[in-house]
Amino acid sequence: MVFNTGAALLDAIVLAVVSRDINGTYGYKITQEVREVIDISESTLYPVLRRLQKDECLEVYDMEYAGRNRRYYKLTERGRVQLGLYEEEWNNYSAKISGMFMRR
């Protein structure tokens, strides 16, 4: 993608991905789903997950899978509210940008 992805947009995308599963999802799966819309490395994603956890938008828990612990991320109520704000802001922003392209 030729457009830069800012921190807020990346946070919004990650929250949207995590919100898809009520029980949460694990880091690798989040990376794969985010990569469906933007190019991102795991080294970029994990600081985002930690920041969202610090901001109390995500809660973290470990669960055993195939003899190993897997870290899961789950949306909190605060994260759900933040995702709603991001979604509203995105809808307004994208409508304005699309409107600019339609004026040509």
CATH classification of the domain holding 21 = 1.10.10.10
Residue 12 lies in a domain: yes
Residue 50 lies in a domain: yes
Helix 42-54 vs helix 7-19: crossing angle, to nearest 10: 80
Residue 1 lies in a domain: no
Of residues 42 and 77, the one with the higher pLDDT is 77
Q: With bands split at pLDDT 50, 70 and 90, how would you rate the model's confidence at 3?
A: low
Which residues span the domain enclosing 40? Answer: 7-102
pLDDT tens profile 37-51: 988 888 889 999 999
> How many domains would you assign to the chain?
1
Residue 90 lies in a domain: yes
Residue 2 lies in a domain: no
Of residues 74 and 66, the one with the higher pLDDT is 74
